[in-house]
Amino acid sequence: MSRDVTDITETTLQSESVYEGSFLKVRRDTVRLPNGREGIREYVRHPGAVVVIAFLDDERVVMIRQYRYPVQRLIVEFPAGKLDAGESPLVCAQRELLEETGYSAHDWVQAGQMHLAVGYSDEVLHIFVARGLTAGARQLDEDEFLHVDVMRVDEILEGCRSGAITDAKSLSCALWLQNIHEGRWQV
Amino acid sequence: MSRDVTDITETTLQSESVYEGSFLKVRRDTVRLPNGREGIREYVRHPGAVVVIAFLDDERVVMIRQYRYPVQRLIVEFPAGKLDAGESPLVCAQRELLEETGYSAHDWVQAGQMHLAVGYSDEVLHIFVARGLTAGARQLDEDEFLHVDVMRVDEILEGCRSGAITDAKSLSCALWLQNIHEGRWQV
């Protein structure tokens, strides 16, 4: 019975690029399914990204508020950004925090990784925790617009509960935030 | 100075479909940026989806393990699925839990919503909490393969911390799971 297969891996039979935009790259692969049949998998190719949980010395956290066109609304989120070609996640995290918020940080630790949209993207997002912050000048791109909000941990968690924060990478970071803040997870 | 604009909304000037696959639909829009210039936004059009936090009477939780081709690995996640055309989120949540795990539930509550990938998708994911579960037979599609794992709350949270669980929608659900389990968030 096909339902009883234990190896549920899918293997690539053919892979083609079907869209190469200014930003999005989409592939369409033909795969061998666990039951021997063929299937189609379409997905976004993504360079990878970082997201930063940046604690001020008083345990408040640096957040940003940005208009996100695909969802047509202002989104409250942790500072984040895509890896440049050849860039290490740590260097990217330091660059994005500085560019978006003006803060640089003395202590950096990688907390974990997440896969943002496993159904249709290969994006891996590296989660960093930054401490020992120093405020400075932002370095936004000319066409980049965002507000910086410094928030308390309880405000962020209440925002997650109430629906003020809906961004999945930020809800995921809030799980780290809560457990780090309460001393359960050592990062 | 363009940096000082307070309204950071982007407005649509033109919108075109650039890829219509078997599953993925991609649009490319020209937008008016806050500084008056034009920009390009490319994003996946998604029908919306649901994810279910399903508690057994002993507070264990129904999880699934599934090969996710875009990230080329087995992913541990909460049961989830896309809305069919015209389907309400609640009906979709009930259908997906039954199809994927065989469980039906007596009590359903919507806990919240998340935006899965705000940079390049319009996907809204509705989070449901299900209680009063009854086990039954799964109803998987012929080409769908997944394992059902019943896990304790502490196992799920440890999986999030250790990197065994990396799926962003599931990490986000784990924030609800922890706070519901500890009685902080009433759902």
Chain A: nearest CA to B76, how far in angstroms?
11
The answer to whether position A186 is within a domain reads: no
Using a CB-CB distance cutoff of 8 angstroms, which residues of chain A are in contact with residue B100?
none
State which residues form the domain around B14.
Answer: 2-45
Is the same domain home to A62 and A111? yes
Is the same domain home to B149 and B102? yes
How many domains, in total, are found in chain B? 2
Say what the alpha-carbon torsion angle B137, B71, A115, B148 is, to the nearest 10 degrees: 20
Is the same domain home to B8 and B100? no
Q: Which of A68, A100, A180 to mutate to test the interface with B (most CBs of B within 10 A)?
A: A68
Q: Do A23 and B142 touch (CB under 8 A)?
A: no
List the B25-32 sheet strands across, edge first. B11-20, B25-32, B38-45
What CA–CA distance (Å, rounded) separates B175 from B178? 5
* Predicted confidence pLDDT, tens digits, chain A (187 residues): 344 567 899 999 999 999 999 999 999 999 999 999 999 999 999 999 999 999 999 999 999 999 999 999 999 999 999 999 999 999 999 999 999 999 999 999 999 999 999 999 999 999 999 999 999 999 998 889 999 999 999 999 999 999 999 999 999 999 999 999 999 999 9
Is the same domain home to B32 and B102? no
Is the same domain home to A73 and A17? no
Prediction ipTM score = 0.96
What CA–CA distance (Å, rounded) separates A26 from A19? 5
Given A21, A122, A146, which is nearest B8 (Cβ)? A146
The answer to whether position A75 is within a domain reads: yes
For residue A123, give the 3-state DSSP assignment: coil
**CATH code: domain of residue B22:** 2.30.30
Given B67, B113, B168, which is nearest A114 (Cβ)? B168
Is the same domain home to A37 and A53? no
Distance from chain centroid for Cα B24: 16
Q: Do A34 and B145 touch (CB under 8 A)?
A: yes
Is the same domain home to A86 and A125? yes
User: In Å, what is the CA distance from A8 to each residue of A29, A35, B22, B23?
Assistant: 17, 9, 22, 21
Contact predicate B60/B53, CB 8 Å: no
Contact predicate B53/B125, CB 8 Å: no
The answer to whether position A162 is within a domain reads: yes
> Is residue A142 annotated as part of the catalytic site, yes or no?
yes
Is the same domain home to A69 and A155? yes
The answer to whether position B13 is within a domain reads: yes
Is the same domain home to B100 and B60? yes
The answer to whether position A187 is within a domain reads: no
**CATH code: domain of residue B62:** 3.90.79.10
Is the same domain home to A34 and A101? no
Is the same domain home to A31 and A58? no
Report which of B182, B173, B183, B186 is spatially closest to residue B62, judged by C-alpha positions: B173
